[in-house]
Structure 1
Amino acid sequence: MAAAPRKTPAKATKTAIPQLSWRRPEPAPIVLVSGPEEVCAERAIAGVRDYLKAEDPSLEITDIVASDYTSGMLLAVTSPSLFGEPRMVRVSAVEKCSDAFLTEALAYIEAPQEGATLVLRHNGATVRGKKLLDAIRSGVGRGVEVPCPAVKRDADRFDFAAGEFSAAGKRIAPKALQALTQAFTGHLAELAAACQQLVADVEGDITEDVVTRYYGGRVETNAFAVADTAIAGRYGEALVALRHALDSGADPVPLVAAFAMKLRTMARVAGSREPSRALATRLGMKDWQVDRARRDLQAGWNERALALAIQAIARADAEVKGASRDPVFALERMVTVIATRAPFGAPTR
């Protein structure tokens, strides 16, 4: 009788460590702050610091740059002091860590020092340090992870800003929140700073008028006004709005970006008959973004017009970034194609 085949032993399942929100971080022997969004990472690290200081104001804080690490430094700064104060060690640039740091950090997480909190910042730009991250995520060191994914989509930026006001116990009108996120489409740090300024300066609820008073002159706000006019098919007004924006100091690059954002949303929504909420969920958008795109599409848009507009935007984007010596003409041509729904040079309506 043939012997029964031997069963391959099942691999041990790694223990997943807790995943904490960057808005509500908590200390642990090892705190891994991962992901590319620096604003969220800074908030997470500051949150851990504040938590520990609230527990013991005598907290000792040490900063280490993993790329410039000197052997023995980690053990020296985490070892108990004479009076036993708690220690927090913030390690930056783990994605560029030296071999010495990697070796000693792997040894350290096997037996973290009592009373020490080691915060490791890895932005995910490289795979350097992956062995260390994998060990922490498997449960070595009794750590926690605070993910800080990139905030790129309109819906994510909207949620970020809404969270800023919610965390501060401040109410903001939906249209005011929409206007604010449209006014800051660049670095997330600018949007975060704008939210904090409104929280600090404004008594009571934040309305659309308040946002307009503070940030109505933003270049991106002018850009969206130009885009809205062109998308509505008001050719003459769109050219006047474009000239006004440029005369006010608007940069051609964010002007094109505003058009691209709105046309991209319209193209994604076009032809769908799903309810706004279902479509918004599927596309990673907000209900109001879907509703706005559908209203825009009613102004004489079809597949051919959308294709022409997107091609015009792509051409203008390249030209305002250096492919042409006349970025103003590139913008005017783009606005003409979008406002007339026709190739450049065709008779205007």
Structure 2
Amino acid sequence: MAPTARRAPAKSTRSAIPQLSWRSPQPAPIVLVSGPEDVCAERAIAGVRDYLRAEDASLEVSDLRADDYAAGSLLAMTSPSLFGEPRLVRVTGVEKCSDAFLSEALSYLAVPQEGATVVLRHTGASVRGKKLLDAIRAGEGGGVEIACPAIKRDSDRYDFAAGEFQAAKRRIAPPALRTLVSAFADDVTELAAACQQLISDVPGDITEQVVERYYGGRVETSAFVVADTAIAGRYGDALIALRHALASGADPVPMVAAIALKLRTMARVAGSREPAAALAARVGLKDWQVDRARRDLAGWNEASLGRAIQAAARADAEVKGGSRDAVFALERLVTVIATRAPYAV
């Protein structure tokens, strides 16, 4: 069966080949899936497969490892079969590919097989295979690229989770979304699974109460809950939350990082009377982050905020090896923040 003609996506101004979102992948003779975020890469590759299978249910799917490659495999898997079914070849480990694979893949770009789609997964963990990536990005082989950059910042995780519900055409209340992101601040794969569980299990709109019911245990031990209660001046609650977090295996290093992040956001917002949208655009935040920081600033002044930021810097150094007691350093930081006063030795 002849492959269906496809309109090429608009080209990026930064590359000779089209740049596609992992949420809306499309097939091409060569599909480069680059970047370290595996959950996005898996979605992109599955999306290419589903797209091709919707065009022709007889799609043949094969898998190759570029780091454990048998010579001739790529050409054998992409060559037309007796009945001319479309072929999808998924190649993993391109960032550690063998010389044999690199040589054959570069040769393949010159004459891609008709009716075949080759997906190349490169995590960016090494420069191995750079010659192949450069050739693809220069337009050889008629490829597209799907970038999957790391999701590290809180705002990135928020955007990722929001996109999960938007893609499913489901509504989630902003407080519920913030609570969900806070509960899974350390693992994007678990965050994705939690989003899909809520989408699958919960009819109608998803509220904060629903998220608390499903993931309340995770939320209670989140570093952001410790930060929120301390910043609100609830000293006793902050210490209880801290002890729960530590008892459940929380690492002091990311906990201090989460607290410092909230304090820095407060400092960036403090004193400004700009509308939230304008301030958010100027300092690189989301509107809801500006609104939340302004609420958090209630009862704080320049001196107390400065002390808290200095305490966070000290705690950061201590939990990273500067002190023999990381838990004490964390408790002292929470005390300074919650009491808004210097720590009494």
The answer to whether the 8 Å contact 1:219/1:254 transfers is no
CA contact (8 A) 1:170 1:199 kept: yes
* 1:278 pairs with 2:278: yes
Partner of 2:7: none
TM-aligned CA deviation for residue 331 of structure 1? 2.1
Structure 2 residue matching 1:47: 3-state secondary structure: helix
1:62-141 alignment to 2 at 5 Å? 62-141=62-141
Verify the 8 A CA contact 1:31 1:120 in the aligned structure 2.
yes
Aligned AA for 2:95? E
**Partner deviation per Cα, 1:25-69 (whole Å, 9 max, x = no partner):** 111101111112111111000000111112222222111111222
Are residues 298 and 93 of structure 1, via their aligned partners in 2, closer, same or farther at CA, if it must alter by over 3 Å? same
Alignment partner of 1:217: what SS? helix
Task: Note if contact 1:219-1:245 (Cα within 8 Å) is conserved in structure 2.
Answer: no
CA distance, structure 2, for counterparts of residue 64 and residue 32 of structure 1: 14
Say whether the 8 Å CA contact 2:221–2:242 is kept in structure 1: no
What is the CA–CA distance in structure 2 between the aligned matches of 1:250 and 1:145, rounded to whole Å? Answer: 37
Q: For each residue in 1:158-186, what CA deviation from the matched residue of structure 2 results, as whole angstroms up to 9, or x when unmatched?
A: 11111111111211111111111111111
State the distance in 1 between where 2:222 and 2:60 align.
Answer: 48
Q: Which amino acid aligns with 2:92?
A: S
Decide whether the 8 Å contact of 1:182 with 1:220 is kept in 2.
no
Over the matched positions of the two proteins, sequence identity in percent amounts to 75
Change (3 A) 1:318 1:167: same
Number of the residue aligned with 1:341: 340
SS in 2 for 1:230: helix
| Preserved CA contact (<8 Å) 1:34 1:124 | yes
The aligned residue for residue 145 of structure 1 is 145
Aligned 8 A contact 1:309 1:334 in 2: yes
CA offset at residue 250 of structure 1? 5.0
3-state SS of 2:20 partner: coil
What one-letter code is carried by the residue in structure 2 that aligns with 1:90?
R
> Which residue number in structure 1 is paired with residue 217 of structure 2?
217
Task: Report the equivalent of 1:328.
Answer: 327
Given that 1:184 and 1:220 are in contact with CA atoms closer than 8 Å, whether structure 2 keeps it comes out as: no
Q: Alpha-carbon deviations, 1:87-125, whole Å to 9, x = none?
A: 111111211122221211111011100111000111222
Q: Which residue does 2:4 correspond to in 1?
A: none
**Normalising by structure 1, what TM-score?**
0.87
Report the TM-score when normalising by structure 2: 0.88
Partner of 2:199: 199
Length, aligned pairs only: 333
CA distance in 2, matches of 1:237, 1:196: 31
| Letter matched to residue 304 of structure 2 | A
| CA shift in 2, pair 1:300/1:134, >3 Å | same
Deviates more, 1:63-72 or 1:159-168: 63-72
Shift of 1:330: 2.3
- The residue identity in structure 2 corresponding to 1:341 is R
Q: Deviations over 1:69-96 (max 9, x none)?
A: 2222211111112222211111112111
In the alignment, residue 305 of structure 1 is paired with which amino acid?
Answer: S
Structure 1, gaps ≥5 residues long: 1-12
Q: CA RMSD in A?
A: 2.4
